[in-house]
Chain A
């Protein structure tokens, strides 16, 4: 029998007794008196309360006690005493047992409904998945179920259809609504060569794409997996609660026996009153609110953040995010766009040609910028020969039979600049541009300035973090002057420049001496720093997020999400603490009141009221967790105006 049916059954049988209780002052009595009450309550105990008793007995045999033990012992005591009282002609209180069962089932019914909506995030995510795909098979597009799609398949997506799996657009273009996965509210324009994400919705165009990730490898599947893990994880704070819960129920039974003995033996209360106090203690003490305080808040918090494209790995991260004092950012690709562009060339036209010849085989982001510029100006790079790396400084090779070199300002150990070039270099660096030195035949022939502009949202995000009282630090391998210039543009407090990629983790360790540190960086290149930091925030871009790297993974590559992630973590964690506080207060205050400690002041708790209170406590904890879904985030209130 479902909880709902058990509740309805006990409610119907309890109603006559409720009517009698209300109408008794007006001279109404239930036909049949105590015997009618006996029959009604026996029905409640046999049908609605039986599962409690079964479960309590099963637990007892395993040396366990749980909330069912308390409900079963409490109501059975009231019921059995009433049978004895009825047979010996004393006052009965069957209604206590019946009402308590009714109220507790009411509480459980609501709790079940709300728990379901709290854990709904995963089902909603799974529900986003497309059911079928238009796949090219034997020269024709045919509808196949999602499970039949394999890597390499060509899939056509019509307007309004869902993109089935992750892949790369082969042909056509469209705008795609990716809000369900990335949290980005504006549709994103995509064309051939761009990545598409499974489960996102195509706008107005038709395109075909090549599937690159299917099944459990898709971004959505990984998000689902991560959210599942986060929702079942335990925050460290829960461990204390678990220890309490283990000994709680037997301790309450002992407290109830003591209550009875003290009232009956020492204070000379009647048998009935002493027993009512003991039953109230048992009923009020049910620790179920304590048990669900953390999991429900964790479920709602992580579920909500997942919808915004913020994946929080577990409760531990959530708790750690709450203690963060410093946020460290990687520069390239995190604060800046990560697409450096050549802005200035100092020297003759041969500078770019030589630079392009030297960089043609390189995969360095700065090399890409140089080659793009060469391509735009119509130059064709001719690969240089005899490449030699100048450790940590640049490269050297032979161009047109002459030795040539390109590299960063550390090359100045080997070569000298004219005063004019030195001045220009300083100027460019102060303007937040990285300067590359190009030389031929042991002479510096020119400079190339490359700029990686900060993202539009960076300054706002940094300001928001500072407003939260956090210290902000930028970590970069770039030159001090360039780094400082970028930091000033976005408002970062401190700069640690000239850090080699391998030393980032060590820099984080040094910062940790002043307090817990969060590090936001590229999920792929910054793995050591991400794991060293107390909270690693891996910034993703599209399908390439590295789930393992960070404690928090951002699907979008937007610094505002760092603010949102920290804010949501803090909100969720304070909600957990609030829930635990109320659940504890409720039990610690409720037990003395139920035990009759304040009886002299006229403050007593009947078993019925205790049952109602218990139902209300779990109800209020789940409701409080669900409210997390509605709580306002300050960081979402200030969207960056899109200036076209």
Chain B
């Protein structure tokens, strides 16, 4: 009887993991707020980047302000390979990263271990 319950439990747990991690889940996309020839967007770092995709307007100086709430040493660095940015994000503090918006395109960024991903779209 025990074994039957364990088997059923295992099947349920596996299906849940597969659905939760591999299933399609929509991600939020946020446009940066433009004020006085500057655009600024906040990204919260906690178990990933929220919002994970930010949209910037081309040609306007832009800043992404990261606030890391996550204690993981994985997320303590943010790396934009296309811009040569590799910065340390202090915990529970705002840390602004300046993005060069001169060339439109989609730019991926990631944590120091490349486990969490975010995206910047410049258009």
The chain A residues found within 8 Å of chain B, CB to CB, are 3, 50-52, 54-68, 108, 112, 115, 119, 225, 228-229, 231-234, 238, 242, 245, 247, 249-250, 253-254, 257-258, 260-261, 264-265, 288, 291-292, 295
Contacts and interface: CB of A to CB of B under 8 A. Distances in A.
Tell me whether chain B's interface is mostly helix, strand or loop, or mixed.
loop
A257 B25 CA distance: 24
B114 A291 contact: yes
Contacts of A288: 74, 113
Contacts of A112: 73
Given A63-B25, A250-B22, A253-B17, A229 B84 contact: yes
A58 B46 contact: yes
A119 B18 contact: no
Given A232-B79, A245-B115, A257-B10, A65 B21 contact: yes
B88 to A, nearest CB: 10
Given A64-B48, A231-B86, A232-B81, 4 more contacts: A63-B20, A232-B85, A247-B21, A295-B114
B102 to A, nearest CB: 14
A253 B17 CA distance: 8
A247 B22 CA distance: 8
B114 A242 contact: yes
17 contacts: A55-B47, A55-B70, A55-B71, A55-B72, A55-B74, A56-B47, A58-B48, A59-B72, A62-B50, A63-B21, A232-B81, A249-B21, A250-B21, A257-B13, A291-B115, A292-B113, A295-B113
A115 B22 CA distance: 31
B44 to A, nearest CB: 10
A58 B6 contact: no
B80 interface: yes
A250 B84 contact: no
A63 B50 CA distance: 12
B47 A58 contact: yes
Contacts of A253: 17
Interface in B13-68: 13-14, 17-18, 20-23, 25, 46-48, 50, 52
A65 to B, nearest CB: 6
Q: Which of B52, B69, B75, B84 has the most CB of A within 10 A?
A: B84
**Closest 5 A-B residue pairs measured CB to CB?**
A58-B47, A229-B84, A51-B71, A291-B113, A59-B47
B81 A260 contact: no
Contacts of B81: 229, 232-234
A68 B75 CA distance: 11
B47 A64 contact: yes
A238 B70 CA distance: 25
A67 B115 contact: yes
A257 B14 contact: yes
A64 B23 CA distance: 11
Q: Which of A56, A58, A238 has the most CB of B within 10 A?
A: A58
A277 to B, nearest CB: 14
B74 A66 contact: yes
Contacts of B72: 51-52, 55, 59, 66, 68
A64 B14 CA distance: 15
A56 B69 CA distance: 13
A233 B81 CA distance: 5
B71 A265 contact: no
Contacts of B22: 247, 250
Contacts of B80: 232
B70 A3 contact: no
B7 interface: yes
Contacts of A67: 74, 113, 115
Contacts of A228: 84-86
Contact of B114 (A50, A119, A225, A245): A245
A242 B22 CA distance: 15
A232 to B, nearest CB: 5
B63 to A, nearest CB: 18
Nearest to B50: A62
Nearest to B49: A62
A253 B50 CA distance: 25
A238 B113 CA distance: 11
A297 B73 CA distance: 19
B46 to A, nearest CB: 4
A61 B115 contact: no
Given A55-B72, A55-B75, A232 B47 contact: no
Contact of B6 (A55, A108, A245, A261): A261
A264 B72 CA distance: 34
Nearest to B45: A58
A65 B16 CA distance: 13
A247 B52 CA distance: 18
A60 B25 CA distance: 13
B84 to A, nearest CB: 3
A61 B23 CA distance: 13
B115 A265 contact: no
A484 B47 CA distance: 64
Interface string B77-108: 00111011110000000000000000000000
B114 A238 contact: yes
Contacts of B84: 225, 228-229, 232
Contacts of A115: 112
B85 to A, nearest CB: 7
Contact of B86 (A50, A232, A264, A265): A232
Nearest to A225: B84
A245 B52 CA distance: 18
Nearest to A231: B86
Contacts of A58: 46-48, 69-70
Contacts of A57: 47
A193 to B, nearest CB: 35
Contact of A59 (B3, B18, B48, B79): B48
A112 B48 CA distance: 20
A288 B115 CA distance: 9
A291 B22 CA distance: 20
Nearest to A112: B73
Contacts of B83: 229
Contacts of B48: 58-59, 62, 64
B83 to A, nearest CB: 8
Nearest to A62: B48
Nearest to A618: B113
A225 B14 CA distance: 47
B68 to A, nearest CB: 11
A265 B10 CA distance: 11
Contacts of B21: 63-65, 247, 249-250
Contacts of A50: 71
B114 A265 contact: no
Given A58-B48, A112-B73, A264 B6 contact: yes
